Chains A and B, each alone.
Chain A
Amino acid sequence: MGAIYIMWLREVKRYFRSKAQIIVSLGQPTLYLLALGFGFGPVFAKAGAGNYLQFMAPGVIGMTVLFSSIFSGMAMLWDRQFGFLKETLVAPVPRLHIILGRTLGGATVASLQGLLMLVVCLIAGFRPVHAHAAGTPASHDWLALPLALIFVGMIALVFAALGASVGSTIKDMQGFQVLMNFLVMPIFFLSGALYPLKNLPRVLSWITHADPLTYGIDGLRGVLIGSWQFNFGSQFNFMLDLCLLTGLAAIFLTTSAWLFSRIEV
C-alpha cells in the first residue's frame, strides 16, 4: 500500500508545484469555450438547439480531463528518459502497485483540472439546469455539481489508465507525436464534446459510439444540463454511462498493469 501512496503523492506534488502549468493547461479549453461557445452560439440557436455555451461547457470540461489524464500516463516517457523509471522497476514491490499509484495520481490531477475548468465555465456564464419541457423556463440545479464530479473522476481514471498503457509501450518522442495526432485528437473530436450526436451519418455515428469519451461527455452533459443522447430516461442513461466507464477503466487498468509488468530496459 505504501508504494501506491508514494507514487500517487509524487504525481499530486508535481501538480501543485508547477502552478504555471496549471494555468497554461486551462488555456486551450478556455479558448475553445470562448471562441467556439460564443462564435457558434447564434447558428446553434437559429437551428433551434438552444444555448451553445450551455451545450459545450460539459464538452470542454471533458476535454480538459481527457488531455490532462492521458498526458499523465504518457509522462512515463519522460521518466524513462530521465531514468527515474528504473528506480521503480527494481523496487521490491509488485509493479501493479507502482502503476496503480501513478494512474490514481494522474487521475486525481486530471480531476482537479476538470474542477477548475468547471469553475471557468461558471464564470463564463454556464449554469447547471434541470431538464425542462420546451417553453418553460429552466431552473438552476446546483446539486448537479457533485454528480458531475463522478463523471469527471471516471473520465480521468479511464484515460489515465489508457495513457499509462500507451506510456508503457512507446519509447520515444516520435511515437508520442503520432499518438497525439491519431489517438487523443480523434477521441476528443468524435466524442460529442462539440456537437450533438443525433442524426449523424451512419458511419460517423458508429465511430462516435465506439469512443470511450462519448459516454463520459454524455454523463457530464446529462447531469449538468439534463440532456442525454439516448431517450431511455435519465436514470437509465446515468447507469449506462457509469457502467460503461467503469468497465473501460477496469479493462485499461488491467492492460496497463500487464504492459508495465513486462517492461525491460
Chain B
Amino acid sequence: MIRVENLTKTFDQFTAVKDISFQVDAGEIFAFLGPNGAGKTTTIKMLTTLLRPTAGHIHLDGFDPWVKQREARQRFGIVFQDPSLDNEQTAYENMELHGILYHIPHRVRVERIEQLLRQFELWERRNDYVKTFSGGMKRRLEIARGFLHTPKILFLDEPTLGLDPQSRNQLWTHVKALNEKEKTTVFLTTHYMDEADRVAHRIAVMDHGAIVAIGTSAELKARTNTDSLEGAFLALTGTSLRDEAASSTDAMRRFAQMWQQKR
C-alpha cells in the first residue's frame, strides 16, 4: 500500500531523512518510532505531499504523490501533530468542509458524517464551535474527519500527544475498529511505546534520519534481548537526549496558543 525507496530530504546543510526504504502492506497498522528530531514528521510530510523529497521514490496505492498528486491525496487521510481544524466553525461544518474538498457526494456525506460523529461521541456537540472543544474532543474530531472520505491510508502523526489515558485508550479503540472494519492501512508515529506495542502490527525505529530496525514488537525485543518495547527502543537509539532547535514557527505557535487562551 505504501512503498518508499531511498527517500532523502536535505534542508540546506542538514539531512533530516537519509536514504530510507520500507513497505507497508494493505490493512496493516505500521508504527514509526524515534526520538525527537529523528525525521518522523519530515517523512510523513513527504508522504503526504506537503514537502518535496530531495531524492527517492514514494508510491501510495500505486500512485507517486508527486506525479499523480490529486489521485494520491484522495487516497489518504491525515491527522497532523498539531491541530488543523477551523476553530471558528462548528464540528459539523468542519466535517462538511472536508467532505466537499474530498468530493464526497451529498447523500453519502450526510450519512457518513453522522455515523462518524456518533462513533467518536461528538454528535451531541456537532453544532458547537470547535474553539469551545477540549484537546481530546478536537483530536477525536480530527480523526473522525480523517476517516470521512474512506481513505485507503490514514496517517497519524503523534495523535495522542497531550491526551489523558482515557482519551488515548478510546482513540486507539476507534482506530483499531476502523482498521478492521474498513481495512484502512494506518501509518502512525508516537512516543508512547505501550501504544505502539498494543496497536501496531509492525514497527520501524528511526534515529538520526535513518531506519535502525524494522519488524514486529516481538522481533525487536528478541533482536535486542530486552523484555519490553521501551527497552528495545532505548537499546536501539541510546539514552542521550535530543534537543531540537526551536524555529520561528514554534515561537508563533506559542503566541497563537496564548492568543487562544486570552479569548
Contacts and interface: CB of A to CB of B under 8 A. Distances in A.
B235 interface: no
A86 B70 CA distance: 15
Interface residues of B, number: 38
B145 to A, nearest CB: 8
Interface residues of A, number: 28
B96 to A, nearest CB: 8
A173 B93 CA distance: 28
Contacts of A83: 80, 82-85
Contacts of B82: 83
B73 A171 contact: no
B48 interface: yes
B88 A14 contact: yes
Given A17-B88, A171-B249, 20 more contacts: A2-B100, A5-B100, A6-B100, A13-B89, A82-B83, A82-B87, A84-B87, A87-B84, A89-B50, A90-B76, A90-B78, A92-B69, A92-B102, A94-B70, A171-B248, A172-B249, A173-B252, A264-B45, A264-B52, A265-B45
B161 to A, nearest CB: 13
A91 B73 contact: yes
Secondary structure at chain A's binding surface: helix, strand, loop or mixed? helix
Most buried by A among B48, B78, B86, B248: B86
Contact of B48 (A5, A13, A90, A93): A90
B93 to A, nearest CB: 8
A172 B93 CA distance: 28
Given A83-B80, A90-B49, A264-B50, A3 B252 contact: no
Given A2-B101, A83-B80, A172-B252, A93 B70 contact: yes
Contacts of B110: none
B256 interface: yes
Interface in B99-148: 100-103
Nearest to B98: A87
B97 interface: yes
B73 A92 contact: yes
Interface of B: 45, 48-52, 69-71, 73-74, 76, 78, 80, 82-89, 93, 96-98, 100-103, 248-249, 251-253, 255-256, 260
13 contacts: A78-B256, A81-B253, A81-B255, A83-B82, A86-B50, A87-B86, A89-B49, A90-B49, A91-B73, A92-B70, A92-B74, A93-B101, A172-B249
Contacts of B69: 92
A88 B98 CA distance: 9
Contacts of B51: 264-265
Contacts of A93: 70, 101, 103
A14 B134 CA distance: 21
A90 B253 CA distance: 20
B103 A2 contact: yes
A261 to B, nearest CB: 10
A10 interface: yes
Contact of B101 (A14, A17, A91): A91
Nearest to B70: A92
A265 B50 contact: yes
Given A90-B73, A90-B78, A171-B249, A84 B101 contact: no
A92 B76 CA distance: 10
Interface in A87-116: 87-94
A258 to B, nearest CB: 16
A83 B131 CA distance: 13
A10 B48 contact: no
B70 A10 contact: no
Interface in A40-88: 78, 81-88
